[in-house]
Amino acid sequence: MQIFKNKWFSKFAREEGILDKELCEAVLDANRGLIDADYGGGVIKQRIARPNEGKSGYDAYVQLVEESEMLQDVCDYDAVKTAINQGKEELVPGEVTFALLDGENPVKVWREYRCLTQQQLAEVAEISTPYLSQIETGKRTGTTEVLLAVAKALNVTLDDIVFQVE
- Confirm whether 16 is domain-assigned: no
Task: Give 114-121 contacts, CB < 8 A, sequence gap 24+.
Answer: 114/154, 114/155, 116/154, 121/150, 121/153, 121/154
- CATH number of domain containing 107: 1.10.260.40
- 50-91 pLDDT, tens per residue? 666 655 566 677 778 888 999 999 999 999 999 999 988 889
- Confirm whether 63 is domain-assigned: no
- Confirm whether 100 is domain-assigned: yes
- Confirm whether 138 is domain-assigned: yes
- Confirm whether 51 is domain-assigned: no
Domain that holds residue 100: 94-161
Instruction: Check pLDDT > 70 for residue 125.
Output: yes
The pLDDT-based confidence of 143 (bands split at 50, 70, 90) is very high
- Confirm whether 118 is domain-assigned: yes
Q: What does pLDDT average to over the chain?
A: 87
For the chain, what is the domain count?
A: 1
* Helices assigned H by DSSP within the chain: 7-16, 20-31, 58-85, 94-101, 106-113, 118-125, 129-137, 144-154, 158-161
Quick check: helix, strand or coil at residue 43?
strand
